[in-house]
Amino acid sequence: MLTFTPMGTLGSPFNLLCMSLDCRTLDFETKSSYTLHVEASNHYVDTRFLSVGPFSDMATIRLLVENEDEPPVFSSSISQMVISEAAAVGTDVGSVSAHDPDATNSPVRYSIDRRSDVEHYFNIDSSSGLIRTNRPLDREISALHNITILATESLDPSQVGKAVVLVSVTDINDNAPSFAIEYQMFVCENTKPGQIIETLSAVDRDEPEDGHHFLFSLTNEAVENLNFTLRDNKDNTASVLTRRGGFLQQDQLVHFLTVVISDSGSPSLSSTNTLSVTVCNCDLDGHQRSCSQRATPLVVGLSTVAAAAILTCVLTLLGVVMVTVAIRHRKREPLMMNDEREIRENIVRYDDEGGGEEDTEAFDMVALRHLNQTIQTLRDPNLHPPGLPRTPESSMDKNQLFQEFIKDKLQEADLDQTAPPYDSLQTYAFEGNGSTADSLSSLNSLDSLDSLNSMNLLESEQNYDFLREWGPRFRKLADLYGNHEGVHG
């Protein structure tokens, strides 16, 4: 059995390494190699082999420590800083420092873990590590900020070191004192002068170093009050006393007393508070305070919060009433007639005129023309120079023809005094000029009666043989109505 003994001391192989390195963590930057002298000996020696020689041996072991990339290390893992809550935005709070322990000595960039500073009270300079305030501080909201600073290697962003910074916010006198509770004071009708009816105390959100010192006093108007007075007890309390006796509910149900509370800060802050004292019926001893129904605390002791709540409810009800009246007023307006709704919402479509199965240009928009414009073009030699064929393409540009037609109809709609006051969709029939016949549209039938001789119109309505003279476009009509006998009247 062999036993390893470092420096002449027996021990296991694990104890060998621990005793040699003093059980410290290996650090390549501190020491990169170790030299160990190890002796191995036979613990149990057989006497029969004593003459063979020594039963031990020495060996030297050289231990090399491999380098490992380590994150940046702060000079202090926990730092404490102090700043006043009156500090302006951008005030320096303190700085931190970190370095790369590796041989590469990579530059370090600083940042704040926003999970530890959700409200963004602080910022840090990424190069220097200087911490500044980013927004106003309030000790009454947060007296201690625990933020985490991150140090990241520029050459290897995966290597990040962390440190904790505790920022304590010191107090300033920025809050005025107030009553500790909401007092509802009562006085008996049979009370005597000089009787204490209430002891007042105050609170202050600030925390001065030497403790709170409150001063209680009455306003100039309250000093002249002949019913009550105030006595400062010099222990942050004050007593309200009666100055007379014999209070009667019939004379005055509620009395008011205005009290001023001041603190000892620099500068000193104060608040003015109004107390209400209700007159009640009491027993002969004056210990039991039971008020009549006319003097309930609900009537005389409304707080500021309760008054604000009541005002909010009143405003809400007023808004609901106004909205209801507006909705009812709109319902009283006359509803739209069915005819008007049809004019505005329905689209009237007219069937195409002329054509038939043999008419290959029945749906050719180029052939559509306004009859009056076509007649004017035929009669005016300036609009249609001689020598040119009178075709729709040469008489007027296609686009210009439609534009002028739309402009004319738009002007007619604007000048129409009988048009509805709202916007409506108007559909116009645009007829072609390929035939010499008058318009077949029912919309223009009255105009045709004015422009044509009544006898010719009567004959055209009774005899349809003239349709054969209008060309191939009306051949189908001629076949249908040519042999039909009109009714003479």
Tens of pLDDT along the chain (489 residues) come to: 444 444 433 344 445 455 444 556 776 666 777 888 888 887 777 777 777 767 788 888 888 777 677 889 999 999 999 999 999 999 999 999 999 888 788 899 999 999 999 999 999 999 999 999 999 999 999 999 999 999 999 888 999 999 999 999 999 989 999 999 999 888 888 888 998 999 999 999 988 888 889 999 999 888 888 889 999 999 999 999 999 888 888 888 899 999 999 998 888 999 999 999 988 888 776 665 667 544 444 433 445 566 778 888 899 999 888 888 888 777 665 555 554 444 445 555 555 555 554 555 555 544 444 444 444 444 454 544 444 444 444 445 666 777 787 888 888 877 777 766 666 666 766 665 555 555 555 444 444 444 444 445 445 455 677 777 787 878 887 787 765 544 343
Name the helix (H) or strand (E) containing 462: helix 454-462
Model confidence pTM above 0.85:
no
Last residue of a domain, one of 132, 154, 170: 170
The answer on 288 and 187 residing in a single domain is yes
Last residue of a domain, one of 117, 148, 170: 170
The answer on 190 and 84 residing in a single domain is no
The type of residue at 230 is: L
Nearest-angstrom CA–CA distance, 282 and 452: 112
The answer on 297 and 189 residing in a single domain is yes
Structural domain contains residue 476 = no
CATH number, residue 136: 2.60.40.60
Q: Where are the alpha helices (DSSP H) in 210-367?
A: 220-223, 297-300, 304-331, 338-345
Q: Look at residue 334 in the predicted model and tell me its pLDDT.
A: 55
The answer on 284 and 188 residing in a single domain is yes
The answer on 248 and 211 residing in a single domain is yes
Q: Look at residue 296 in the predicted model and tell me its pLDDT.
A: 43
Instruction: Tally the domains of the chain.
Output: 5
Helix (H, G, I), strand (E, B) or coil at 376: helix
Characterize 379-410 residue by residue with b for buried, 16 or more Cβ atoms within 10 angstroms of its Cβ, and e for exposed. Answer: eeeeebeeeeeeebeebbeeeebbeebeeeee
Nearest-angstrom CA–CA distance, 468 and 482: 8
Helix (H, G, I), strand (E, B) or coil at 460: helix
Q: Which of the 8 DSSP states describes residue 127?
A: T
Structural domain contains residue 383 = yes
Structural domain contains residue 201 = yes
Cis (ω within 30 of 0) for the bond into 267? yes
What is the chain's Cα-based Rg?
Answer: 54
Q: What is the domain extent for residue 102? A: 73-170
Q: Look at residue 299 in the predicted model and tell me its pLDDT.
A: 39
Nearest-angstrom CA–CA distance, 97 and 128: 8
Structural domain contains residue 487 = no
Structural domain contains residue 462 = no
The answer on 109 and 79 residing in a single domain is yes
Structural domain contains residue 116 = yes
The answer on 129 and 40 residing in a single domain is no
**Cα–Cα nearest to 441, from 345, 348, 319:** 348
Nearest-angstrom CA–CA distance, 271 and 257: 14
Last residue of a domain, one of 120, 138, 170: 170
Strand ranges of the sheet holding 33-42, from the earlier edge strand across to the other edge = 2-6, 33-42, 56-64
Helix (H, G, I), strand (E, B) or coil at 58: strand
Q: What are phi and psi of 223, to 5 degrees?
A: -60, -35
The answer on 95 and 45 residing in a single domain is no
**Cα–Cα nearest to 161, from 216, 203, 106:** 106
Q: Look at residue 13 in the predicted model and tell me its pLDDT.
A: 44
Determine the straight-line distance between the first and last CA of the chain, rounded to whole angstroms. 148
Structural domain contains residue 464 = no
The answer on 311 and 275 residing in a single domain is no
